[in-house]
Amino acid sequence: MEVTPEGCRAGRAILKWSMRELAERSGVAWTTVNRLEAGAAARDATAAKIVAAFEAEGVELVAEDGRTGAVLVYARRRA
């Protein structure tokens, strides 16, 4: 799965996460998230961690057919 800057920002916006929160939840450095959103390519292992963090919260990243972004698949109920 490709992680685009737009998809990463859109996913964070859906979840109302800061860069630091995404970094904590995905297990990557916040500077990595910052570089990714500035346009740097992510390593496959890093992209997989970021995708997993979003998917754990019901958000899927989209990067196909000239479109990029994120969609909420389901809303998690919080107790």
pLDDT digits (tens, 9 = 90+) for 13-67: 999 999 999 999 999 999 999 999 999 999 999 999 999 999 999 999 998 888 8
Give pTM, 2 decimals.
0.88
Is the distance from CB of 30 to CB of 40 less than 8 angstroms? no
Is the distance from CB of 53 to CB of 32 less than 8 angstroms? no
Name the class of domain 5-72. mainly alpha
**Can you give the pLDDT at residue 49?**
97
